Structure 1
Amino acid sequence: MIRLVVFALLVLVLGYGFSWLADRPGDLSLIWEGQLYQTKLIVAATAIIGLVALVMVLWWLVRVIWTSPHSVTRYFRARKRDRGYQALSTGLIAAGAGNSLLARKMAARSRGLIRADQEPLIALLEAQAALIEGRHDEARAKFEAMTNDPETRELGLRGLYLEAKRLGANEAARQYAEKAADNAPYLPWAAQATLEYRSQAGRWDDAIRLLEQQKAARVIEKGEADRMRAVLLTARATEKLENDPAGARDDALHALKLSADFEPAAIIAAKALFREDKLRKAASILEQAWKAEPHPEIGRTYVRARSGDSAADRLKRAERLEALRPNNVESLLVVAQAALDAQAFAKARTKAEAAARIEPREAAFLLMADIEEAETGDQGRIRHWLSQALKAPRDPAWVADGFVSDKWLPLSPISGQLDAFVWKVPFGQVEGPIEDGAPASIDYALKTLPPVRETRPESPVNDHRIIELERAATIAEAARPPAKPATPTKETAAQAAEPPPFFGGRPDDPGVRAPATEPEPKTRLRLF
């Protein structure tokens, strides 16, 4: 388009020039070697322009003839290169489809048509063909050769990383990932793998630094980066809690600013503040977290904030949590447990039954069993509540990759993934009741609850007392003087004269009764 405009402008300029000369006629005289040459000005200008055009055409012809060998060579070279790139494209498609024979054939053809130092994709095609054919040693050699070229270094490191993961060489995979992340922190696979490896080794500072590089390179979104940073800060705060409460407090509070609904950060921050005797601020953090989402660990931490509190004080703190989130299962369970510790059995039973009505699950029925044991000690009723707990759905827990943990962990012990634990009901639980009978229901459980026995089982002190009395009676009976033998009668004499049975005793038939003799004292034995 630009050339067309330039050509049009040039024609217009020439036309204008000729029109200007035509409007101003004149003669042009030239004396050369004594001869006078005279012509019109317009004719002279036309001749000069034609001469220039002729010179340009002659120069073009000479240039074409002079450069024709190079042009022919370049033509055939371009044609060969095009064929090579066509073979390379076909080979990569074949490798992606898993056609090793065609991929190997196209790799050889590409290497014959294109110089390998000019096109690094040939080495990639050969490595892919070797992987498809199962020649992993050859593939690793190709990837190692790629790492020596700055243009293909990242590609070679990724290939070596995947091979190391396939072989289970985690240390080698870690080194390849860290090397790639140091050279190019914008690579998602390298940064994520390095982040997980550094987290597994407890190198929280290095992991946080790498996360900042990812965020600066815009490899990871801001929201996700803030969440990951909160997890790393909470993990570092957990390690600092024992020896550096102030550092743990700062990390946990920073994590809460990044992710306000992150319960582990709130718990660690509160525990660190408790160690610094900042009870009011710690309680405020736990109350805010409880309002957002009640969690059993938050409730336990809040109720047992001060070790010197009495059971009644802990009950008041539990009731404070219930006031923040009324009619909530976790709130009711926390109050029920605190009431049980304070031996307020009526309140504990009422709250536990209310929790079971809202959500009949394992923890509510187990708590009912604990209340029954503490209040009545009736083994039948305790077993009844335990059987209901077996039928009820399981309680939520920290779950990651099928692994159930009683506490939050920053990494999954199965896959090593960061921030993998989720608070939910574990998978794989038995659906429905696991034994015959109706499913767990508080109304059904109360309806079928056996009555309390009138007599409670004897305590260990009474058992010892009974044993001592029976031993004393036995000793007194043994010290009593023997009674005079009675005069034998005819029946007793006949029985004494009767020979004993062949097998050494009387038959064990229950219908055969032994002769009446004076009962011997018996000692009552009890296992305790």
Structure 2
Amino acid sequence: FNWLASFSGEVLFILGDYEVKISPLFFIISSVAIIVLSILLWLSFSYIYQLPRKIQLIKEARSNEKVQNAIMKGLVHASAGNINAAEIEIKKIDRIKKNTSDIMVLLLKAQNASLKKDNVALNKIFQQMGKIETTKMLSYRGLYTLSKNSKNPQKSIELLKDAETYNSAEPWVIDELLKCYLVTQNWKSASEVLDKMLAHKLISRKKYNLHKSIILTSHALLLEEQNPSEAISLALDAIKLNKSQIIAVITAARILSEQGERARAEKIITDTWKSIQHEDLAYLLSYVNPGASPKQRVEKIEGLIKKTKISGIEGDVALCRAYIDVKNFDKAKQVIEKYINENTSRRIYELLAEIDSHLFKGNAKSRDWMRKAMNARYDTNWSADDYSSDVWLPCIPDTGEIKSFAWGDHRIKTLDIDNNYISNFMRSKMLQGNRLSQELQENNVEDDIIEVTEIVEEKDSKIKSGKVDKKNKEIKETAISEEIAVPDDPGVVQEEDIHEP
């Protein structure tokens, strides 16, 4: 400033006819003041101009914070299964933001609608998700699940194909598409999907071979009567992938036998028998030659057992059936009765019942075996995990999940009778007749006590039931009495009117 003040000279402003002379110091100070004032005025006007927008942003930030808190609380409530609390948070969100398409809000609404089992609302939410790129695949998954639950396989397949077009490498799409094809028995498409899974490395080679053999076997069964030549090709391919595929072996041997290639059919059965046994394999071997007599069929099964030195229960069951065919019931019983023990399956008891129905007059022994069959703890069937079936299946029918069903004796799943909880109800909820049976079993007097019925001529026409002890010859009357109508007196029955069998 001292330099400017000491500077001699003037700053001249000419405004028309007017001339204004000012010192350099005053000019500089005035210029700086004008510039500063201009900046301040600009900032003030800018702030005033942007103030509504800033207020709006602050309101939106607060709203977003409230929405985020509501989403967080709603998801927690929905995850805990508290539908009402989650619904309150959803209404709070809708009050703050109407018709919002926020992904987290849509997820919360979808989860709560799923808990309420509101399929209409779910469908609407998933349709809305389909318009957002981020949630498009989730939309396909949700709509497919709704279609699957409504038992509409055709619509499910259409949705899966659309999802596959959108993203062909999506694992769940390929997996669910395979299940749909299995349920609808579209074996060719199922095989193509399985090949795609291997190509995308979604399945191991070992698992692929197992599943492929199951699908090929199913396809062969479908075409066995319509197109035997293609069916035999599919069955043989299935055997190459999995040599233990019993049903493929049976199908192939059956077709080869019908086509006259009996030696080849016998070889397939014999080779499979060495690794895995099934009664139908041995039994089918005896029928490879259509003109064979029952005796020759028995010899065929005996030859298989002798050649492979493998029998076991499957070989003996097949041999027993063959002996039954030739009506050699003593030999049939001799073969099978060695398997009677505490773990005997229903199959053995049923065979013994069939045999004894021919060996003994009356059905007493046969009924005894059938009663044991009904109470058996084991049954012989096809089983996979907790699912069992009397026939071989490629998948679980309800879900379409491909499974390798194994043949054998499997424990029949029932409640544990030794469970303390169940024992509290065994007597208190038992009928009088059942309670008597329970007492007889507990006392182990099945052979010593028999029930007799005495008809007593009374006005009330009652039948009293008693127990006779063979050992002490004492009749113990029970508290059980059943009121039943006694038929009218038929009169005196002459001896010649009695027809004994």
Partners of 1:386 and 1:175 lie apart in 2 by 54
Partner of residue 283, structure 1: 266
In structure 1, the residue matched to 2:225 is: 242
Is the CA contact 1:234–1:252 (under 8 Å) kept in the aligned structure 2?
yes
Residues 90, 106 of structure 1: 8 Å contact kept: no
Deviations 1:64-84 (A, max 9, x none): x99x99xx999x979949958
Deviations 1:6-25 (A, max 9, x none): xxxxxxxxxxxxxxxxxxxx
Aligned counterpart for 1:329 among listed residues 313, 317, 320: 313
Against the structure 1 CA distance between its residues 526 and 101, is the aligned structure 2 distance closer, same or farther, given a 3 Å change threshold? closer
CA deviation after TM superposition for structure 1 residue 350, in Å:
2.6
Establish whether residue 100 from structure 1 lines up as the match of residue 100 from structure 2: no
Task: Determine which structure has more spread, i.e. the larger CA radius of gyration.
Answer: 1
C-alpha change, 1:148 and 1:262, in structure 2 (3 Å) is same
Change (3 A) 1:366 1:108: closer
For residues 89 and 225 of structure 1, do their structure 2 counterparts lie closer, same or farther at Cα, with a shift above 3 Å needed? farther
- Write the distance in 1 (CA, Å) between the matches of 2:116 and 2:93: 14
Deviation at 1:89, TM superposition (A): 5.4
Note if contact 2:171-2:202 (Cα within 8 Å) is conserved in structure 1.
yes
Provide, for residues 27-72 of structure 1, a one-character-per-residue CA deviation record: whole Å limited to 9, x for no partner: xxxxxxxxxxxxxxxxxxxxxxxxxxxxxxxxxxx9xx99x99xx9
In the alignment, the residues of structure 1 paired with residue 79 and residue 351 of structure 2 have an alpha-carbon distance, to the nearest angstrom, of: 59
Mapped contact 2:75–2:86 kept (Cα < 8 A): no
Q: Does 1:425 align with 2:384?
A: no
CA 1:308/1:141 → structure 2, altered by over 3 Å: closer, same or farther?
A: same
Per the alignment, residue 391 of structure 1 pairs with: 372
Query: Displacement of 1:195 after TM fit?
Result: 1.8
The more displaced of 230-239 and 401-410 is: 401-410
Quick one: distance in 2 between partners of 1:277 and 1:358?
Answer: 44
- Which amino acid is the alignment partner of residue 330 of structure 1? E
Amino acid at match of 2:324: L
Q: Flag structure 2 segments of 5+ consecutive residues without an equivalent.
A: 1-38, 418-433, 442-446, 448-489
1:160 to 143, 160, 166: 143
Residues 302, 427 of structure 1: CA spacing in aligned structure 2 closer, same or farther, 3 A cutoff?
same
Is contact 2:140-2:163 (8 Å) kept?
Answer: yes
Letter in 2 for 1:244: N
- CA 1:422/1:242 → structure 2, altered by over 3 Å: closer, same or farther? same
- Alignment check: 8 A CA contact 2:345 2:380 kept: no
Q: Does 2:361 match 1:379?
A: yes
Q: Percent same amino acid among aligned pairs?
A: 23
CA contact (8 A) 1:191 1:210 kept: yes
Equivalent-residue separation in structure 2 for 1:135 and 1:365 (angstroms): 51
Number of aligned residue pairs: give it. 379
- Aligned to 1:397, what secondary structure does the other structure show? strand
Cα displacement (A) at 1:143: 0.9
| Of 308-317 and 269-278, the range deviating more from structure 2 | 269-278
Residue in structure 2 matching 1:353, options 321, 326, 337: 337
Give the SS at the match of 2:382: strand
C-alpha RMSD over aligned residues? 4.5
Q: What is residue 475 of structure 2 aligned with on the other side?
A: none
Question: In structure 1, how many angstroms separate the alpha carbons of the residues matched to 2:272 and 2:341?
Answer: 25
Q: What is the distance in 1 between the residues matched to 2:216 and 2:256?
A: 16
For 1:425, what is the secondary structure of its paired residue? Answer: strand
User: CA distance change for structure 1 residues 208 and 370 in 2, over 3 Å: closer, same or farther?
Assistant: same
Partner Cα separation in structure 1 for residue 491 and residue 79 of structure 2: 86
Once the 2 structures are TM-superposed, how far is the Cα of residue 253 of structure 1 from its aligned partner? Answer: 1.9
1:338 to 291, 316, 322: 322
Cα deviation per residue 1:319-345 (whole Å; 9 max; x = unaligned)?
A: 123232545112222222223333445
The answer (yes or no) to whether the contact 2:280–2:318 under 8 Å persists in 1 is no
Deviation at 1:236, TM superposition (A): 0.3
Of 250-259 and 343-352, the range deviating more from structure 2: 343-352
Residues 17-36 of structure 1: matches in 2 within 5 Å?
none
Contact 1:174-1:194 at 8 Å conserved across structures: yes
Q: Which amino acid aligns with 1:317?
A: K
Q: CA deviation at 1:314?
A: 0.9
Report Cα offsets for 1:218-267 as digits up to 9, x if no partner. 33343333322221111100011112222112212222222222222222
Instruction: Kindly indicate whether the alpha-carbon contact (under 8 Å) linking 2:73 and 2:86 is maintained by their aligned counterparts in 1.
Output: no
| Amino acid corresponding to residue 336 of structure 1 in structure 2 | C
The change in CA–CA distance for 1:136 and 1:110 in structure 2 (over 3 A counts) is farther
Residues 59-78 of structure 1: pairs in structure 2 closer than 5 A: none
Evaluate the alpha carbon distance shift between residue 130 and residue 316 of structure 1 in structure 2; reply closer, same or farther with a 3 A threshold: closer
CA 1:194–1:84 in 2, change beyond 3 Å: closer, same or farther? farther
Match of 1:472 in 2: none
Corresponding residue number in structure 1 for 2:207: 224
Q: What is the letter of the counterpart of residue 338 of structure 2?
A: A
Q: Taking structure 1 as reference, are residues 292 and 191 closer, same or farther at Cα in structure 2, changes over 3 Å only? A: same
Unaligned runs of 5+ in 1: 1-61, 439-446, 448-506, 514-521
Cα gap change, 1:509/1:312 in structure 2, threshold over 3 Å: closer, same or farther?
Answer: closer
Partner of 1:210: 193
CA distance in 2, matches of 1:86, 1:345: 80
> For the structure 1 residues 258 and 317, does the alpha-carbon distance in structure 2 shift closer, same or farther, using more than 3 Å as the test?
same
CA gap 1:92/1:275 in 2 versus in 1, 3 angstroms: same
Question: In the aligned structure 2, how far is the partner of 1:425 from the partner of 1:97?
Answer: 38
**Structure 2-normalised TM-score?**
0.61
Write the distance in 2 (CA, Å) between the matches of 1:413 and 1:326: 34
**2 CA distance for matches of 1:149 and 1:289?**
55
- Aligned position for 2:456: none
CA contact (8 A) 1:403 1:414 kept: no
Mapped to 2, the partners of 1:256 and 1:396 lie a distance apart of: 23
Residue 299 of structure 1 is aligned with which of 245, 258, 282?
A: 282
* 2:198 maps to amino acid: K
SS in 2 for 1:379: coil
**Residues 102 and 211 (structure 1 numbering): CA distance in 2 closer, same or farther, change over 3 Å?**
farther
Paired residue secondary structure (1:418): coil
Instruction: Please identify which structure carries the higher strand content.
Output: 2
Q: Contact conserved, 2:273 with 2:281, CA < 8 A, in 1?
A: yes
**Equivalent residue number for residue 130 of structure 2:** 147
Distance 1:85 1:281 in 2: 74
